[in-house]
Every structure is written in structure tokens, then in C-alpha cells.
């Protein structure tokens, strides 16, 4: 199974300093919905793994979060795209859980649910903790220069990614989709893409 795990805020939707608490606050990153469709059409399953500490701190409730995700799924469907599952860590940093990124717990749960070998799973996010969670779980880490990494220049993005072995840097989700789809082609020169 071809599976890619995406962060949500800053990857699929515009990052906000406050929690995305209503469907109206969930605004897609330009090109992100189309990139998910492209991955889906190339046979990839797309899963979201997201820290949502607003749940644990009481700033957000499950009904509100479900409404946000319904809106996200409706927008994806309009572009011929789908997210196969959303895995949520509801805890705050103080809770000391095993699922809040950079901990790898969400990724372990995804592997169990989908029956995949995590070494074959690409994980993309816009923060160092996304890369750290991917590495801790044995996944392939990818940094997207959107969301919280949008302001990084090439050198700064490479420095951030270099903190986690095996990380690759991409401009956005569309660039990651291009990389994965191209690499997956039977005639792809894998050596040239490393």
C-alpha cells in the first residue's frame, strides 16, 4: 500500500496562531487540495496526523473539530480528492502522552490501522516536530516550506531538515506529490532522485 501521512495545519490549510475552531477558519493552502487529488489518482492513500491541543485545553470540542473536518472533506471532494483517515492527538504538551508529535504514537496507530511497514511511509509536515516524529517511527521525513516554515529561505530550510536524518525539503504539498508520483513510476531513475 502506498501511504503518505500529512500534518494538517500549515500543510493542508493555512496555519493560524489560534486554533482552527470553525469550518470558516479552515482555509486550504493554495494547491494543496489538488495535490491530494493527484496523489489519490496515482494510487496513494493520504492520512492526516495532527496535534490538536485545543481539545485538551478546552478551547475546542470534538463537535467543532468534526465540523472543521467535514468542511475539509467537502472541499477535498470538490477537487476529486479524499483523506482516508484523520488521526488526532488531543493532548497538551503538559500531558506527556505518546501521541503528540514529535512523539511517534500517532504514526504507530496509523501503521496498525492500515497494516503498513512504516519504513515505506512518507510523512510530511511544516515543523521540526513533524520530521522528528517521522524519524522516531522509522518513516521517511519531508519538510514542506508552507505554514510555519513558509518564511524560511533555502539555507534555513535545509538547516532545519538536516537536524533529522534522511529529511527532504519541498516547496509545498504539490512539490511533494510530484516527487512521490515521479519516484513511484516503474521507469523512474531512483538514484537520480536521491
- Which residue ranges are tagged as binding site for Mg(2+)? 9, 126
Q: Per-residue b/e over 57-89, b at no fewer than 16 CB within 10 Å? A: eeebeeebbebbbebbeebbeebebebeebbbb
* Spatial contact of 39 and 55, defined as CB atoms under 8 Å apart: no
Instruction: Output the known binding site for Zn(2+).
Output: 89, 91, 97, 99
Instruction: Output the known binding site.
Output: 9, 89, 91, 97, 99, 126
3-class secondary structure per residue, 29-77: CCCHHHHHHHHHHCCEEEEEEEECHHHHHCCCCHHHHHHHHHHHHHHHH
Q: Per-residue b/e over 142-173, b at no fewer than 16 CB within 10 Å? A: bbbbbbbbbebeeeebeebbeebeebbbbebb
Amino acid at each position: 500500500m502506498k501511504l503518505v501521512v500529512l500534518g494538517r495545519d500549515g500543510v493542508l490549510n493555512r496555519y493560524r496562531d489560534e486554533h482552527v475552531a470553525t469550518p470558516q477558519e479552515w482555509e486550504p493552502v493554495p494547491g494543496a487540495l489538488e495535490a491530494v487529488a493527484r496523489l489519490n489518482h496515482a494510487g496513494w492513500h493520504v492520512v492526516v496526523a495532527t496535534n490538536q491541543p485545543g481539545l485538551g485545553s478546552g478551547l475546542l470540542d470534538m463537535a467543532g473539530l468534526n465540523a472543521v473536518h467535514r468542511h475539509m472533506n467537502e472541499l477535498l471532494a470538490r477537487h476529486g480528492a479524499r483523506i482516508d483517515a484523520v488521526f488526532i492527538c488531543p493532548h497538551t504538551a503538559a500531558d506527556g502522552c505518546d501521541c503528540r508529535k514529535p512523539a511517534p504514537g500517532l504514526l504507530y496507530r496509523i501503521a496498525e490501522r492500515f497494516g503498513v511497514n512504516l519504513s515505506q511511509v512518507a510523512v510530511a509536515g511544516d515543523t521540526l516536530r513533524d520530521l522528528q516524529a517521522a524519524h522516531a517511527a522509522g518513516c521517511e521525513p519531508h519538510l514542506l516550506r508552507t505554514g510555519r516554515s513558509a518564511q524560511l529561505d533555502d539555507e534555513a530550510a535545509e538547516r532545519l531538515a538536516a537536524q533529522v536524518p534522511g529529511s527532504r525539503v519541498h516547496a509545498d504539498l504539490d512539490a511533494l506529490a510530484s516527487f512521490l508520483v515521479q519516484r513511484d513510476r516503474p521507469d523512474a531513475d531512483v538514484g537520480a532522485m536521491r
